Amino acid sequence: MGAVSSVEGEVLGVYPSVMETSEMAKVTPPEQMVGGLVAVLASGRGSDFQALVDAAERGEADIRISLLVCNVPGAPVIERAERHGIPHVVIDHNNRTREDFERELHTVLVGRGIGLLVLAGFMRVLSPWFVSRWRDRIVNIHPALLPSFPGAHAHRDVLEHGVKVTGLTIHYVDEDVDHGPIIFQWPVRVFDNDTEESLTRRVLEEEHRWYPRIIQAIVDGRVRRTGRRVVIEGESGFYDVSGPQ
State the catalytic residues. 142
Instruction: Using DSSP, state whether 82 is helix, strand or coil.
Output: helix
Nearest-CA neighbor of 159 among 129, 135, 195? 195
Please report which helix (H) or strand (E) contains residue 141, including its range: strand 138-142
If DSSP codes are grouped into helix, strand and coil, which group holds residue 20? helix
Q: Which residues contact 54 (CB under 8 A, 6 or more apart)?
A: none
| 189, β-bridge pairs | 165
Instruction: Report how far apart, in Å, the C-alpha atoms of 4 and of each of 24, 92, 177 are.
Output: 17, 23, 19
Q: By C-alpha distance, which of 63, 44, 37 is closest to 116? A: 37
Strand-pair partners of 166: 188
